[in-house]
Amino acid sequence: MKLYSTNNKNLRVPFQEAVFNALPVDNGLYMPEVIPRLDPLFIRDIQQYSLQEIAFYIANALIGDDIPESDLKAIVEDAINFDAPVKFLSAETAVLELFHGPSYAFKDFGARFMSRVMAYFSKKGEKLLDVLVATSGDTGGAVALGFLGVEGTRVTILYPKGKVSKVQEEQLTTNGQNIRALEVNGTFDDCQALVKQAFNDISLNEELRLTSANSINIARLIPQTFYYFWAYAQLKAQGVRDVVFTVPSGNFGNIGAGLLAYKMGLPVKHFVAATNVNDTVPRFLKSGMYDPKPSIQTLANAMDVGNPSNWVRIQDLFAGNLDELRGMISSYTYDDQQTKEAMDELYEKYNYIACPHTAIAYLASKAYKIENHGEYASVFLSTAHPCKFPDAISETVFSEIELPEGAKSLYGKEKLVEELEVDYESFKSFLLENN
């Protein structure tokens, strides 16, 4: 597998280089040089395969010779060891639950696969791989639990003090082993700035082998295609022919993977991108003008993104053809009040408790259905377990949530965390002194 930069198609790097660099030097994004078309017989018979079998087939088609088949199989089986079930709420509406991994968010697919690929490419005797990650909540948990115990790696997580939920904080701070948590007396943007400065610090990079677990890493995008195929397989087994996926979107990595799956030959009728009031993409699809804005804080805070970093990839997949894009993606935007009402409606109508991100997808799938009649299954993606967002969910509904066993077991565990002021020298000293 070779990858080019969206800013320079003449630049070609092997998969391994794209994984460790995350970003090309020209600040484009890595895209596969060739998007393989899957064998139509595989799609025809897809309902016969398991999630792991599908995942291996797709990964192998994309990555090719860069990882031998038997090694790739082991990576996939170790990484994708939890389900992503499609559950019907009514005859035509279903939810694809992506929160059955260790951190209860869909980011587990990307983080677990990426951690194992990085460990695979890190040869014995090489310097320890130091992963730095800034998080507003979900990314840190997925990366921490994804790398936990993975040999040859160490993770340092920076999160803003008081701005992550209880379950999120427990997932960041109770791991020990090769995971370290820093509680930063500042905002998520401060955390990101500290990490960025570390990557640009030449003397630090001479001491440590730093890498980022950034969401734009190609090794996080690839595994996110798996569950679109798996959802289709489950639907096909039930006789469904056409499907529309609605994806709650922030950085647009999740829906970008869906579109990549579509380009590989997955039969999808349409995609719907659901956003909170950070509506750069819905505005773009309407006006044709890409006009990013600073992010606005909402209840669905994992989607508080004003300038979605993966949008460039989606433009690239469609070679900038706006008409083709509009033919394949619709987009709707919702505010906090509508999000709350949607969570209540899901609970009252279907006895289903959804996180705020998922509720936004539910609203957008309904809006699309009203404008586009026809026989198809409307599948909206549930990106996180509701237990991670207590402040966004009404108290009565929250009290009905059945906590996953893993979340219960975190309760009361010792918190292992160091406090950090927003000060680069302190951060650097921490990294060097604890090496």
Ligand X SMILES: *Cc1c(COP(=O)(O)O)cnc(C)c1O
The footprint of ligand X (CB under 6 A) covers: 105, 107, 138, 248-254, 302-303, 355, 357, 383-384
Identity of residue 198: A
Nearer to ligand X, 13 or 379 (CB): 379
First to last CA, the chain: 34
Q: What is the dihedral of CA 139, 140, 145, 146, to 10 degrees?
A: 50
**Spatial distance between the Cα atoms of 200 and 158, rounded to a whole number of angstroms:** 17
Alpha-carbon radius of gyration of the chain: 21
- Sort strands 93-97 and 86-88 into parallel, antiparallel or unpaired: antiparallel
Residue 296: how many CB atoms within 10 A of its CB?
A: 13
Considering the complex, what minimum distance in angstroms separates the CB of residue 95 from ligand X?
Answer: 13
| Spacing of C-alpha 360 from chain mean position | 16
Nearer to ligand X, 281 or 420 (CB): 281
**Spatial distance between the Cα atoms of 290 and 299, rounded to a whole number of angstroms:** 24
Considering the complex, what minimum distance in angstroms separates the CB of residue 414 from ligand X?
Answer: 26
Considering the complex, what minimum distance in angstroms separates the CB of residue 252 from ligand X?
Answer: 5
Considering the complex, what minimum distance in angstroms separates the CB of residue 247 from ligand X?
Answer: 7
Nearer to ligand X, 61 or 354 (CB): 354
The pair phi, psi for residue 306, each rounded to 5°, is -90, -25
Catalytic residue (one of 87, 107, 369, 388): 107
Identity of residue 78: D
Q: Catalytic: 107?
A: yes
Nearer to ligand X, 174 or 301 (CB): 301
CA atoms within 13 Å, Cβ hemisphere of 262: 20
The pair phi, psi for residue 119, each rounded to 5°, is -65, -40
Considering the complex, what minimum distance in angstroms separates the CB of residue 355 from ligand X?
Answer: 6
CA atoms within 13 Å, Cβ hemisphere of 75: 29
Nearer to ligand X, 32 or 253 (CB): 253
Considering the complex, what minimum distance in angstroms separates the CB of residue 248 from ligand X?
Answer: 5
**For residues 296 and 304, is the Cβ–Cβ distance under 8 A?**
yes
| Residue count (the chain) | 435
**Spatial distance between the Cα atoms of 259 and 270, rounded to a whole number of angstroms:** 10
**For residues 174 and 198, is the Cβ–Cβ distance under 8 A?**
no
Nearer to ligand X, 252 or 427 (CB): 252
Nearer to ligand X, 122 or 298 (CB): 298
Considering the complex, what minimum distance in angstroms separates the CB of residue 385 from ligand X?
Answer: 9
Both tokens of residue 253? 């990595």
**Spatial distance between the Cα atoms of 24 and 55, rounded to a whole number of angstroms:** 26
Nearer to ligand X, 13 or 105 (CB): 105
Nearer to ligand X, 101 or 248 (CB): 248
The pair phi, psi for residue 391, each rounded to 5°, is -75, -20
Q: Please report, for residues 245, 299, 339, 376, the alpha-carbon distance to residue 225 in angstroms, rounded to integers and kept in the order given.
A: 13, 27, 27, 21
Considering the complex, what minimum distance in angstroms separates the CB of residue 249 from ligand X?
Answer: 4
Q: What is the strand order of the sheet 30-32 is part of?
A: 8-14, 2-5, 30-32
Considering the complex, what minimum distance in angstroms separates the CB of residue 104 from ligand X?
Answer: 9
**Spatial distance between the Cα atoms of 406 and 361, rounded to a whole number of angstroms:** 26
Catalytic residue positions, numbered: 107
